[in-house]
Amino acid sequence: MEEPVSVESEQAERPLATECSSCHTPLEVPWIHCAICRTPTVDLCSRCFSHGAEFGQHECDHPYTVVKLDFPLYESHWTASEELKLLDAIQDCGIGNWQAISGKLRTKTEAECERHYLCCYVEKPQAPLPEFTDQHNYDRGAPVIFKLSDNPPRPAEGSNLWNEMGGYSAARCDFNTEHDNFLELDICHLTSSDMDSPRIESTEEMTEEDQRLYKDLSITVLEVYRNCLLERQRRKKLIREYGLINMRKWFGHMRRRFDSTLSLEILRPFMRLFPTMTFDKYLESLLYEKQLKNQISKLQEYRKNGITVLRAARLYSQLKQRRESSKIQRHLLSDVLNHVKDESSCQSWLARQAVLEGTQKADKLALPNPIRKSAPRLNIEGLQGYEKLNEAEKEMCAEVRLVPQAYLDFSRLLIAECNKHGFLRLAQARTLIKIDVNKTRRLYDFLLVQGLINKDPM
């Protein structure tokens, strides 16, 4: 007789037996599995094995394996036998009835049963058991992965996300406030008998013409209500197809996809004009158009600098990037060159050097006020609202370092205020737009020069 082999390796080749092959009683751990008999497999309880039971092709001197379930599967303190008992108890008692489940196991508390099941089978399911060689005989599946859907999300009622979702109830897949929410009030008192013989509130009887008119009006009201229901279904279909319930997830996906190159807020109203795939193709075409414009502007820049081949264009781009990086780095030679161009700056630099050297000439040199360097121009090309500006407005926004869309909003606000009162003063403009006072003055003066506003009453 051969010695028992490893339990885990033997269990990996076949499913667990449920009854004794000899007496057909339910098997209890430990039981004996015959290593020779394969078709069919032979599993014996301890009583039949001790009596030397023989039947069919099975003989009592065959090698055997002692089947035990005392090895861990997912956690070291949970054996395979306890895993099976836990699943059977949950199937009998129902999930959540942890007190009864713990009573069936008798080895684990309620908290341990709940924590182990939720951790290993629901929240973070472990990897299934290893692949078995005999897939036809193995019919025990892996744990079912459960995850609460976040599309649409289920926020708490009254929270910020709940308000952003427009009062959408994810549990019943409907809105708390429908489109034309009070339309049912117009037909709540309307019945089929009223259309045939309407109720008369006055003492005078209605003529046949009035009855016919009343019936036509009632049918028209029902037709309006039917159109309202169709509109509700259409809106819900749009919301469902485009995923507009979870707006944060949709905007996040779009921003990652289009890299903030398109104004999604402006394009949102056009979603109803296209099917789902057509709208995605429309966004892709807009992005491709923008990329083509950027490429054309680069080619125009290359041609303006006398470059006609792509090999020279790559070299030009590298040299331009190196030159821009060198401009950022400040060194003594650049200070000297800047001071030589301006007489006052040159005197200031000489006075500072005299002070550092400690010479007597430093007492005679007057130190002029240092000239404040102006901020570099802002590259506004490609920003939102850039295409709406003319050349003068583009130049002003670049010098003042003002984003094109902010310029459009501020100028629209100032022009509307000027049209309202007939004039606009600088102090009023500063109270309307809360930005740097210097930028406000530059914007105010620019609008005056362009004739868009006036500082004195007409």
| H or E element in which residue 6 lies | none
The chain-wide mean pLDDT, for the chain, equals: 76
Residue type, 117: Y
- Burial label for 31, CB within 10 Å (0-12, 13-18, 19+), is buried
Confidence of residue 325 (pLDDT cuts 50, 70, 90): confident
Out of 28-32, 38-42, 399-403, the most confident range is 399-403
Q: Pick from 207, 211, 209, 177: which is nearest to 195 by CA?
A: 211
DSSP 197-219: S----SSSPPPHHHHHHHHHHHH
pLDDT tens, position by position, 295-314: 899 899 998 888 888 888 88
The pLDDT of 138-145, averaged and rounded, is 47
Query: Rounded to whole angstroms, what are the CA distances from 99 to 72, 77, 78, 88, 259?
Result: 23, 20, 18, 14, 53
Residue type, 70: D
Q: Which strand ranges, in their side-by-side order, compose the sheet holding 64-67?
A: 43-44, 31-34, 64-67
CB 53 within 8 A of CB 78: no
The pLDDT of 412-423, averaged and rounded, is 87
pLDDT tens, position by position, 333-392: 565 665 566 666 666 766 777 666 665 554 555 555 555 666 778 888 878 888 888 888
Parallel/antiparallel/unpaired status of strands 168-169 and 64-67:
unpaired
The pLDDT of 84-103, averaged and rounded, is 86
pLDDT at 151: 60
| Alpha carbon distance 48, 3 (integer Å) | 19
Q: What are phi and psi of 224, to 5 degrees?
A: -65, -40
| Alpha carbon distance 114, 97 (integer Å) | 9
pLDDT tens, position by position, 217-249: 888 888 888 899 899 888 888 777 766 776 667
The CA-based dihedral angle spanning residues 167, 168, 171, 172, taken in that order and rounded to the nearest 10 degrees: 110
CB 418 within 8 A of CB 451: no
Per-residue pLDDT at 402 exceeds 80: yes
pLDDT tens, position by position, 419-431: 888 888 888 888 8
Name residues whose C-beta falls within 8 Å of residue 433's C-beta, 6 or more positions apart in sequence: 410, 413, 414, 440, 443
Calculate the CA 248 to chain-centre distance: 5
| H or E element in which residue 222 lies | helix 208-242
DSSP 228-273: HHHHHHHHHHHHHHHT-SSHHHHHHHHHHHHTT-S-HHHHGGGGGG
The pLDDT of 201-225, averaged and rounded, is 77
- Burial label for 252, CB within 10 Å (0-12, 13-18, 19+), is exposed
| Alpha carbon distance 197, 215 (integer Å) | 9
Name the maximum alpha-carbon separation found in the chain.
Answer: 124
CB 410 within 8 A of CB 388: no
Helical ranges in 329-435 per DSSP H: 332-341, 343-357, 391-400, 404-421, 426-432
| Alpha carbon distance 282, 287 (integer Å) | 9
The pLDDT of 169-180, averaged and rounded, is 74
| H or E element in which residue 38 lies | none
Name residues whose C-beta falls within 8 Å of residue 395's C-beta, 6 or more positions apart in sequence: none
What token pair was written down for 116?
Answer: 């182990």
The pLDDT of 403-410, averaged and rounded, is 89
Q: Which residues pair with 175 in a beta bridge?
A: 168
pLDDT at 8: 43
